[in-house]
Structure 1
Amino acid sequence: MHKPTRKRRISFLLAALLGFAISFNAVSAPKREFYQLKIYHLKDQTQENRLDTFLKNAYLPALHRAGVAKVGVFKPVEEAATTTAAPAEKLVYVFIPFKSAEQVFKVEEALTKDKQFATAGQDYLEAAFNNPVYQRIEVVLMEAFEGKPTFTAPNLKSAHAERIYELRSYEAATEKLHENKIAMFNKGEMDIFSRLGFNPVFYAQVKAGSKMPNLMYMTSFDSKAIREEKWKAFGADPAWKKMSAMPEYANNFLRADIYLLRPTDYSEI
């Protein structure tokens, strides 16, 4: 029986180390989170007050007991009225990060068995058909991008009332173009946002929602003025100019909806 040569032994060792490294990275790499965005449509201040009470005193505490660490609650930035037209409906955005798709359903099941939740949330949960807490709810289910598999609660310094959270929704004309836009984010666009100090909260592909194919992401700023400065810097950034001019990324989104939000005083993100 021939003994392995020194060169062969080194090759075996390198192969073993490579295999270990691959296995270690597969185990240690964070899994991509799933996000649920609930958008409550409200008709008046009374409904908004009731919903705030429910979210703050019942829903968020119950989500924590069910294993959700942090929840974000946001409302649109109020602009000065310029007409006498009837005010638009009120909106409340609730962002819930989950570790997996399975956790989404496990948490829902846990809430049905939570007696504290049933008591604290009675006004919401037992509302009469002619006195509901909301007009309707939209629910969007998302999976985090590969390049940012977990959300980040930004470390902003300003008062809650000054902060701006920017939620963007990018629809594409086809599924292929939609995947192309996601690839653009993963291959450099997210890096530009981080380098320029956009304080990204999450980037995610919409898996179920009313607008498809679609992706959504959220960035955050200490003030509206800082947001405007950051976007000006982004538009002038050489890396962005180069990337956005590449023909392989042409026409990879059809419509962009932009929502400027502020966190509630009880938001945890």
Structure 2
Amino acid sequence: MERRQFLAASIAASALTATQQVATQVPAGPAREFYLLRRYNLFTGNQLKLTESYFAGALIPALARRGMGPAGAFRLDIGPETPAYYLLIPGNSVEALAELDLQLADDAEFLKAADPFWNATSTTPAFQRVEISLLAAFRGWPKITPPSSPAASSKRIFQLRTYESPSNGEHVRKVEMFHAGEFEIFSNAGFHPVFFGDALIGSRLPSLTYMLSFADLTELDTKWDVFRNDPAWKKLSSNPRYAYDAIVTNITNLILSPLACSQI
């Protein structure tokens, strides 16, 4: 077996084990997507321009040629360790995402367009570090649902939330909670969710991550107030099975804005 096949197979096997833990607790539904969520840690200056140009001129077009989209490209506006960009890449399988960089390394069209970023030197690096998570879409939210149009997206903000749990069992229970009524409460409060993902590979596991879209911070605050005051939420969150202190140990809350090249 070639090295690249071995790596992809190993990642797929690890991801399968993680997805099976949650699949037993939620109903089956349409085929779901998988996501790569990348965080590019940058320095102010040329790295910002170079990385955004790489997204727009090389990476996102290469993803489109592979039928992988819509891809989201975002700037971190509120959160730790700025500046940073986030990239959300959907795929129909773990294997497609696991092999992506290996395939790009053999893509002449991509390599030509990506050269300033791909071959940046140690004295003028394109980025500081890249952190990657592999996510499986929730059964109850199997596909990305972007805002209605690119024009609408460009004027919006995105909230990226990650919930960490103390154990795999408690994590499964938190995912179950979304399918037991939380999706409907989001809908009733007028939220626009973009995706919900169960982290298969990454840091600070076990965890889940989801993204919401808003017109601005005022709308964000207003809709969360509606959510918290919904009788259905008060009933669901008071269920001992879903007691917050037991199933969630930490929440990371980030505010992003879309880059011009973002398809979300």
Instruction: Identify the TM-score tier after normalising by the shorter chain.
Output: 0.7 to 0.9
Contact 2:30 2:139 in 1 (8 A): no
**What does the per-residue CA deviation read over 1:3-58, in whole Å, with 9 as the maximum and x for residues that have no partner?**
xxxxxxxxxxxxxxxxxxxxxxx8xx521110000000001121001101111001
Aligned match for 1:179, one of 172, 179, 183: 172
* In structure 1, distance between residues paired with 2:118 and 2:91: 23
Q: CA deviation at 1:170?
A: 0.2
- Cα 1:183–1:136 change in 2 (3 A) is same
Instruction: Return closer, same or farther for 1:148/1:78 CA change in 2, 3 Å cut-off.
Output: closer
Partner of residue 219 from structure 1, selected from 205, 212, 221: 212
Shift of residue 106 of structure 1?
4.3
Do residues 205 (structure 1) and 205 (structure 2) align?
A: no
SS of residue in 1 equivalent to 2:46 = helix
What is the CA RMSD across the aligned residues, in angstroms?
1.9
Q: Post-superposition shift, 1:129? A: 1.6
Residue 11 (structure 1) aligns with = none
CA distance in 2: counterparts of 1:225 and 1:236, whole angstroms:
17
Say if 1:157 and 1:33 are closer, same or farther in 2 by CA, change over 3 A.
closer
CA contact (8 A) 1:67 1:107 kept: no
Tell me if structure 2 keeps the 8 A contact 1:167–1:261.
yes
1:243 aligned residue (222, 227, 236): 236
**Matched position secondary structure for 1:212:** coil
Of the three residues 154, 158, 161, the one matched with 1:165 is: 158
CA distance 1:233–1:158, change in 2 (3 Å): farther
Output the amino acid matched with 1:233.
V
Moved over 6 A (4+): none
Provide the residue aligned with 1:66 in structure 2. 66
Residue of structure 1 in register with 2:57 after alignment: 57
CA distance in 2 between counterparts of 1:148 and 1:161 reads 23
- Please name the residue that 1:115 is paired with: 108
Q: Is 1:105 paired with 2:95?
A: no
How far apart, CA to CA, are the structure 2 residues paired with 1:146 and 1:200?
14
TM-score, with structure 2 as normaliser? 0.84
Distance 1:40 1:50 in 2: 12
User: Does the aligned pair in 1 maintain the 2:135–2:199 contact within 8 Å?
Assistant: yes
Distance 2:97 2:225 in 1: 38
Residue 166 (structure 2) pairs with residue 155 (structure 1): no
In structure 2, the partner of 1:37 is: 37
8 Å Cα contact 2:150/2:263 also seen in 1: no
1:161-215 deviation per Cα after TM superposition (whole angstroms, max 9, x unaligned): 5411000000011111111000001111112112222110111110011111100
1:254 counterpart residue number: 249
Cα 1:43/1:222, change in 2 over 3 Å = same
Structure 2, unpaired ranges of 5+: 1-27
Q: Distance in 2 between matches of 1:46 and 1:76?
A: 17
TM-score by length of 1: 0.82
Equivalent-residue separation in structure 1 for 2:180 and 2:82 (angstroms): 38
SS at match of 1:48: helix
Partner Cα distance (2:167, 2:75) in 1: 31
Residues 89 and 260 (structure 1), Cα distance of their counterparts in 2 relative to 1, 3 Å cut: closer
Q: CA deviation at 1:108?
A: 3.1
5+ unaligned residues in a row in structure 1: which ranges? 1-25, 80-86
SS of residue paired to 1:233: helix
Which residue number in structure 1 is paired with residue 138 of structure 2?
A: 145
Moved more, 70-79 or 254-263: 70-79
